[in-house]
Amino acid sequence: MASHRRSPNHRLRLLVTEARLTHEALARHVNRLAALRGQATRYDRTSVSHWLAGTRPRSFTVELLCHALSERLGRPVTAFDAGFPAAQAHGGDAGALDAVARLGDLAGAEADPRHRAAARAVPFRPGAPVPGGPAERAPGDDPREPADLGLEIRSMRDTAAFCAFHLDAFGGGYTRTVLAGYLADVVTPWLRRRGEEPGHRALFAGAAQLAHLLAQSAADMGAEGQAQQAHEISLALAAHAGDRRLYAIGLRALSGQALRLGAPGSALRLAETAAETVPSTASPGTHAYVLTQCALGQAMTGLPRTAVRTLLRAERWLERADSAAGPFTHYAHADFAYQQAQVLRALGESGPALHAYELSLREREAHRNRTRVLTLASTAELHLAQGRLDEACALWHQCLDDAPRVHSQQVAQRVAGIRHELGPYRRSPVVAELWARVISGAERSSGADGGRSVRPQWSHDRPSDDGRRTGSPA
C-alpha cells in the first residue's frame, strides 16, 4: 500500500505570519476560545507546528483556529483560507467521527459536576454556520435497521420518548443531566464501537434525536450556547445518518432559538432552509411543523401576506396528519394552535391570536405542565394588552399554581415577568391577591438563589417559540 505523505500547510503559515503570532500565542488563543465553549484543550506550540506541517485537526479545532485568526486579522478566515478544505475521500466518515467526539465532550462535561458550570456558561454564537446537510444515499445503501443493532436502537428510542415526556411535564432541569449521562456513558461508546457496521446509520439517527433533546433541555434552562452546540452536533449526526427529516427538524429548532434571542432574519433563513430540506416522504405533521416556523419568521420580518399563506399551507398539511403520538413523529394540534397564535400576534391580529391561544390550552394534554404554563402566560399577557385585567389575573393564578411542578428557566422567566406586567395595576383590588402571591414567590426564590433575580425574557413585539411540544415532531 502506498504511503500518504502530508503536505505542509502553506496557507496557514502565511496567515500565522500575517497575524504576527508565535506558535505558543496561537495555541493559547485557541485554548481560550475552547474554554469559552466549555471544552478543555491543551494545545501548545508543538500542536501548531504539527498543523503547519500538514496534520489536520478535528473540525472543532479548525473552527477555533479560524476564529482566532479572524479576531487577530480583523476579517473572516474560513477553513479553506486556513488550508483546511473539505475532505474529499471518506469526508462523511471524518465528519461522523468528529461529531461523535464532540458529542462525547459536550455530554461528558454536562455529566461531570466538575465541568458542568463551565459547559452551561458557553456563550451563544450569533450567525454560526451549521453542519452541511445529508448527502444523497448511495446506491445499495440499505436504510433498514439491522437486526443485530436492534437492542441499541430500541434503547435510544425508549430513552428519547422518556426524556421528551419528562421535558414537557417537568422541564429541562430534570432531563438535561440524565440525557447527558446516557449520551456520554452509553451512546457515545456505541457509536465508536459499532459505528462502522452495516446499517450503522440508524445508530446515528437515534443519537441525533437524543442530542436534539439535550439541546432543547439546555435551552429550557437558559443555557443557549450549550443548546446551540448540542443542536450543531445533532445536525452533524443526522447528516451522517442521511436523515433529511431529522436534519430539517434540527434547523427548525435552531430557527426557534434565533428568534427567541432576537435574530429574526437568521431565524427565517434557517426555517426556510428547513422547509426546503424536508423530504416529500416525511409525515404531514413534519411539514406542518416546519412551515409554522417559516410563517412566524416571515411575520417577524415584515412579510405579512407571505406569513398568512405559509400558515394556511401548514394548516392543510396538518389536516392530513394522523393522530399517532410520539417524539419526532407527531405535531399536536395544541402546538399548532400556539404557533398560529404567535404568528397572528406578530401580525397585530390580537383577537384571532387570543382565540388560537385558548384553543391551544383546551387541546393541550394534561401532563404537559411546562408548555401549559408558557401558554397560560402568553394568553394572560394578551388579555392584559386588550384591557381585560380580570381574565389576565385568573390565568396568572393558574400559572402560579402549575409553575412549582416545573424546573425550567423559561417558566421562571415568565413567572418573574408577571410582576413587571402587573406593576401599573398593583393598586387595583383585582390584582391584590395575585400581587401578594407573586411577591411571596419572588422572595422565596431570592432567598433560595442568594438574591439573584430572574429577568423576564418576553417582549410583546418578539414572540418566542416556547409553547410547542419539544420534540414534536422534533
Domain limits of the chain? 10-73, 264-367, 387-459
Per residue in 288-317, is it b (16+ CB within 10 Å) or e — as a string? bbbbbbbbbbbbbbebeeebbebbebbeeb
* Closest of 120, 83, 205, 165 to residue 470, by C-alpha: 165
**pLDDT reported for residue 463:** 38
Please report which confidence band the pLDDT of residue 312 belongs to, taking 50, 70 and 90 as the band edges. very high
Residue 421 has pLDDT above 90, yes or no: yes
Q: Are 133 and 277 in contact (CB under 8 A)?
A: yes
Q: CA–CA distance from 93 to each of 1, 184, 230, 354 (Å)?
A: 21, 20, 19, 49
Please report which confidence band the pLDDT of residue 323 belongs to, taking 50, 70 and 90 as the band edges. low
- pLDDT > 90: percent of the chain: 59
Q: What is the mean pLDDT of residues 42-58?
A: 90
pTM score, whole prediction:
0.78
**pLDDT reported for residue 63:** 82
Q: How far apart are CA 267 and CA 127, in angstroms?
A: 10
DSSP 3-state of 214: helix
User: Which runs of E-coded beta strand occur in 156-229?
Assistant: none
**pLDDT reported for residue 136:** 58
**pLDDT reported for residue 302:** 95
Q: What is the mean pLDDT of residues 442-459?
A: 47
DSSP calls for 450-463: TT-------BTTB-
* 355 CB-contact burial (10 Å; exposed 0-12 / middle 13-18 / buried 19+): middle
Count H helices and E strands in the chain, helices first. Answer: 21, 0
Q: What is the mean pLDDT of residues 236-252?
A: 94
Q: What is the mean pLDDT of residues 142-156?
A: 73
Element (H, E) at 34: helix 23-36
**pLDDT reported for residue 3:** 40
Beta partners for residue 299, in sequence order: none
Choose the weakest-confidence range: 97-111, 136-150, 434-448: 136-150
Please report which confidence band the pLDDT of residue 467 belongs to, taking 50, 70 and 90 as the band edges. very low
Residue 367 has pLDDT above 70, yes or no: yes
Per residue in 144-179, is it b (16+ CB within 10 Å) or e — as a string? ebbeebeebbeebbebbbbbbbbbbbbbbbbbbbbb
Q: Are 214 and 116 in contact (CB under 8 A)?
A: no
Q: What is the mean pLDDT of residues 385-403?
A: 95
Per residue in 423-461, is it b (16+ CB within 10 Å) or e — as a string? eeeeeeeebeebbebbeebbeebeeeeeeeebebbbeee
The one-letter amino acid at 329? T
The set of cell numbers assigned to 149 is 443493532
The set of cell numbers assigned to 76 is 473572516
Average pLDDT across the chain, whole number:
85
* Closest of 283, 296, 206 to residue 257, by C-alpha: 296
* 389 CB-contact burial (10 Å; exposed 0-12 / middle 13-18 / buried 19+): middle
Q: What is the mean pLDDT of residues 166-190?
A: 95
**pLDDT reported for residue 94:** 65
How many other β-carbons are positioned within 10 Å of the β-carbon of residue 56? Answer: 16
Where does 321-388 have alpha helices with state H?
A: 333-346, 350-363, 369-385
Q: What is the mean pLDDT of residues 76-102?
A: 68
* 205 CB-contact burial (10 Å; exposed 0-12 / middle 13-18 / buried 19+): buried
Q: What is the mean pLDDT of residues 108-128?
A: 88
**pLDDT reported for residue 5:** 53
Span 205-232, pLDDT tens digits: 999 999 999 999 999 999 999 999 999 9
Choose the weakest-confidence range: 13-17, 295-299, 350-354, 452-456: 452-456
Q: How far apart are CA 288 and CA 17, in angstroms?
A: 51
Where does 264-367 sit in CATH, by number? 1.25.40
Beta partners for residue 459, in sequence order: 462
Please report which confidence band the pLDDT of residue 139 belongs to, taking 50, 70 and 90 as the band edges. very low
Please report which confidence band the pLDDT of residue 200 belongs to, taking 50, 70 and 90 as the band edges. confident
**pLDDT reported for residue 199:** 66
Please report which confidence band the pLDDT of residue 334 belongs to, taking 50, 70 and 90 as the band edges. very high
* Closest of 145, 166, 137, 73 to residue 279, by C-alpha: 137
Per residue in 250-287, is it b (16+ CB within 10 Å) or e — as a string? bbbbbbbbbbbbebbebbbbbbbbbbebbeeebbbbbb
Please report which confidence band the pLDDT of residue 395 belongs to, taking 50, 70 and 90 as the band edges. very high
Q: CA–CA distance from 217 to each of 107, 123, 128, 398 (Å)?
A: 12, 16, 20, 24
Residue 244 has pLDDT above 80, yes or no: yes
**pLDDT reported for residue 456:** 34
Q: How far apart are CA 157 and CA 163, in angstroms?
A: 10
66 vs 159, which has greater pLDDT?
159
* 197 CB-contact burial (10 Å; exposed 0-12 / middle 13-18 / buried 19+): exposed
Residue 146 has pLDDT above 70, yes or no: no
**pLDDT reported for residue 326:** 67
**pLDDT reported for residue 197:** 64
Ramachandran sector of residue 225 (left: φ over 0; alpha: ψ -120 to 50; beta: rest): alpha
**pLDDT reported for residue 458:** 30
Q: What is the mean pLDDT of residues 88-102?
A: 66
Please report which confidence band the pLDDT of residue 468 belongs to, taking 50, 70 and 90 as the band edges. very low
Residue 115 has pLDDT above 90, yes or no: no
